[in-house]
């Protein structure tokens, strides 16, 4: 076993000292029974040693558990740690500002008819969402390359693609003159694309459970991307507003469930789903 230094020979306290103290505080004062440490993968050995000491001390006795949830590094195009042009660590506030600025340009090109306030709100939702999704949609233990064009694209496994799918459904209801949530839940499946979309929707609880069990948000991202693709196929092959009743109402109900699932899933990831884009 490797030694864990809690106090140096000179009397100084170490990183491990505060980490061990924090475990004790969280267990005894806060009453926590599950501690998740979302910390970079290089700290795996350090946390393993901290947890083992706490188990020896009796602070991490069942059912109390501490889990290291490691993540990889964000790399630049040169495949080295992401840096600013000056070579410094990139500040989050600068990333957010640039993401919103780039998203504003993309939203303006996509829908120039949005009023100024709506466009600003959508730009922030898209920009911040793109940043979050780029990080969460990758297997957290793997490094990934930071790419503005890819993360802000309206195609592919990106937040803007999912947000646009949600906004598209909202626009269907506006064109139909129907309030979302008012069409009931009776759904009749006739076309293969309807069945495929419905089956994908039924898989949502399992997708959430799997993501939680493995502390792997990318599993939920993959599900939402697959759902958006199923909806696109459904939308291209199954007319909604032009369909005859009762098919029209059934398809509107299917659209409503899809929109609510997309919005809920994105919400779990901390991402907004605008009604218009």
More confident residue, 20 or 87: 20
Residues in Cβ contact with 40 at an 8 Å cutoff, skipping those fewer than 6 apart: 70, 71, 72, 73
pLDDT of 29 > 80? The answer is yes
Name the band, by pLDDT with cuts 50, 70 and 90, for residue 87: low
Q: What is the pLDDT of residues 146-167, one digit of tens each?
A: 899 999 999 999 999 999 999 9
What count of other Cβ atoms lies within 10 Å of the Cβ of residue 112? 8
CA 203, CA 98: separation in Å to the nearest integer? 36
Query: Given this model, what pLDDT does residue 185 score?
Result: 73
Mean pLDDT within 27-52? 94
Judged by average pLDDT, the poorest of 46-50, 80-84, 102-106 is 80-84
pLDDT of 52 > 90? The answer is yes
Query: Given this model, what pLDDT does residue 88 score?
Result: 66
Mean pLDDT within 79-106? 83
Q: What is the pLDDT of residues 152-206, one digit of tens each?
A: 999 999 999 999 999 999 999 999 999 988 887 789 999 999 999 999 999 999 9
Query: Given this model, what pLDDT does residue 9 score?
Result: 75
pTM of the predicted model over 0.85: yes
pLDDT of 83 > 80? The answer is no
More confident residue, 83 or 131: 131
Mean pLDDT in the chain? 92
CA 87, CA 82: separation in Å to the nearest integer? 9
Name the band, by pLDDT with cuts 50, 70 and 90, for residue 246: very high
Q: What is the pLDDT of residues 211-220, one digit of tens each?
A: 999 999 999 9
Query: Given this model, what pLDDT does residue 91 score?
Result: 85
């Amino acid at each position: 076993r490797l030694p864990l230094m809690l106090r140096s020979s000179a009397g100084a306290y170490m990183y491990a000292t505060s980490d061990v103290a924090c475990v004790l505080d969280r267990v005894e004062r806060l009453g926590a029974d599950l501690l998740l440490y979302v910390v970079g993968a290089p700290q795996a050995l350090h946390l393993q040693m901290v947890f083992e000491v706490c188990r020896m001390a009796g602070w991490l006795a069942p059912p109390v558990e501490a889990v290291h949830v490691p993540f990889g590094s964000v790399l630049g195009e040169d495949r080295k740690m992401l840096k600013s042009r000056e070579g410094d660590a990139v500040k989050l506030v600068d990333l957010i500002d640039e993401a919103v600025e780039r998203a504003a340009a993309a939203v303006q090109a996509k829908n120039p008819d949005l009023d100024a306030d709506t466009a600003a709100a959508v730009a922030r939702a898209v920009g911040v969402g793109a940043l979050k999704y780029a990080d969460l949609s990758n297997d957290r233990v793997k490094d990934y390359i930071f790419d503005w064009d890819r993360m802000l694209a309206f195609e592919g496994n990106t937040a803007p693609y999912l947000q646009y799918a949600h906004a598209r459904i909202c626009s269907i209801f506006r064109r139909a003159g129907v309030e979302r949530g008012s069409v009931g839940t009776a759904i009749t499946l006739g076309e293969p694309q309807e069945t495929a979309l419905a089956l994908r929707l039924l898989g949502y609880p399992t997708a959430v459970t799997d993501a939680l069990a493995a502390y792997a948000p990318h599993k939920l991202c993959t599900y939402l991307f697959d759902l958006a693709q199923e909806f696109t196929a459904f939308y291209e092959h199954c007319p909604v507003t032009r369909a005859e009743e009762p098919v029209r109402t059934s398809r509107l109900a299917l659209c409503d469930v899809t929109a609510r699932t997309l919005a809920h899933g994105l919400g779990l990831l901390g991402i907004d789903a605008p009604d218009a884009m």
